Structure 1
Amino acid sequence: MADGLNNQRTARVADLLSDFRTLQYYIAAAPTDPLQSDDYYTEGWAALRQCSLDGQHILNCAADTRVPSARGGPEEQAKAELQQVLLDAYSRRHEAQKIYLRQQAAQRWISWREQVLQGQRPHPGNLEQLNACDRQLRMELSSITDDGIYSDMRSSDYQMGRWTLEDPRLRDVQRWVRARR
């Protein structure tokens, strides 16, 4: 019954976990507190703090270690376990990519805001430009979707020549994420 793909499954899990680790590094390195304390509750800084919390959550949430007993011996049991770990690693990477993209949008917002303010504080003369920055941030954040991330990551994996034969469906990833909220 063994299909001989456990080495590919193992390599795929290793690739996914490596990607996740890299994303976690970037997520943890992003700033969460502005230099000016009165900017603390602005949209971009609030988004960055939420990303930091989400990054910690996805890192700390427990893996689902319940694997049904497989018939067919040790190879089949290893296959079932690897498929479970593959779903976990794939879903964590997916969610980390979403967090990272949200952080990048918020960091662009900080740059736009700094360009508008030019070292000064908000005042009625730059209020419309600051509101435009906020609108742009909201638009960018709303454009970060599970479908887009899933598609981009699959395309990237394919271009890198990674084994993707048993990657989970987007529905399975979304179900995994919902179960950990």
Structure 2
Amino acid sequence: MSDGLNEYRTTRVAEVLSDFRTLQYYIAAAPFNPENMDDYYTEGWAALRQCALDGQHILNCAADITVPRTSGGPEEQAKAELRQVMLDAYARRHEGQKIYLRQAAAQRWIEWREQILQGGRPHSGNNSQLRGCDQQLRTELATITDEAIYSELQQSDYDMGRWTAEDPSLRAVQRWVRSRSRR
């Protein structure tokens, strides 16, 4: 009754978990407080602090270890368990990528802002440029959608020649994320 794919499933889970671990390092390394505390409530720094909180949450939320019992024997039970672990790992990687992309946008915002300020402070002469910088950040953050991330990760996996036949759907990933945000 076994389909013989558990080795592929195990390898796929390991790949996705490795990707998530790499994302964790990047997320943890990003700054979240400005050198000048006058900038604390600016849009980019607020986004970076939210990313740090989101990164901690995705790391700390418990895995769903409830796996339905199967009647097909140990191989079928292993298949069900691997699928459950895969959903958990895949959704965490998805959320990690979203956080990473948001951090990257906010870090670009910091660079743009520093170019505008050139070591100075905001004043009436650079307010228009700073507002434009803030608007650019908002525009970039708006493009970081679940659909875009899912497609990007799917294409990346495909390009690397990974086995993706049983990857969770975007809807399954979104359900997983929603179930973790209520806790």
TM range (shorter): over 0.9
Could you list the per-position Cα deviations for residues 53-84 of structure 1 after superposition, in whole angstroms to 9, with x for gaps in the alignment? 00000000000000000111100000000000
Provide the residue aligned with 1:35 in structure 2. Answer: 35
Alignment partners' CA distance in 2, 1:89 and 1:37: 36
Query: Secondary structure of 1:180's partner?
Result: helix
Which residue does 2:173 correspond to in 1? 173
Correspondence list, 1:79-158, <5 A: 79-158=79-158
Q: Report Cα offsets for 1:39-64 as digits up to 9, x if no partner.
A: 00000000000000000000000000
Report the CA distance between 1:176 and its aligned residue.
0.2
**Can you list the C-alpha shifts for 1:78-118, whole angstroms capped at 9, x where unaligned?**
00000000000000000000000000000000000000000
Distance in 2, matches of 1:141 and 1:42, equals: 15
Whole-Å separation in 2 of the counterparts to 1:107 and 1:71:
51
Which whole-Å CA distance do the structure 2 matches of 1:88 and 1:4 have between them?
22
**How far, CA to CA, are the matches of 2:11 and 2:63 in structure 1?**
19
Please name the residue that 1:77 is paired with.
77
Computed over aligned residues only, the root mean square deviation of the Cα atoms, in angstroms, reads 0.3
Ranges in structure 1 where 5+ consecutive residues have no aligned partner: none
Cα displacement (A) at 1:150? 0.3
2: CA distance, partners of 1:9 / 1:161 = 14
AA of the residue aligned to 1:152: E
Superposition TM-score, scaled by structure 2 size: 0.98
List aligned pairs for 1:8-23, cutoff 5 A: 8-23=8-23
Alignment correspondent of 1:52: 52
Q: String of CA shifts for 1:4-44, please: whole Å, max 9, x gaps.
A: 00000000000000000000100000001101010000000
TM-score under structure 1 normalisation? 1.00
CA distance in 1, matches of 2:114, 2:149: 29
Instruction: Output one character per residue of 1:119-165: Cα deviation in whole Å (capped at 9) or x when no partner.
Output: 00000000000000000000000010000000010000000000000
For 2:18, what is the secondary structure of its paired residue? helix
Distance in 1, Cα, partners of 2:7 & 2:105: 38
Report the equivalent of 1:25. 25
Partner SS for 1:32: coil
Structure 1 runs, 4 residues or longer, greater than 4 Å off: none
Structure 2: which 5+ residue stretches go unaligned?
Answer: none
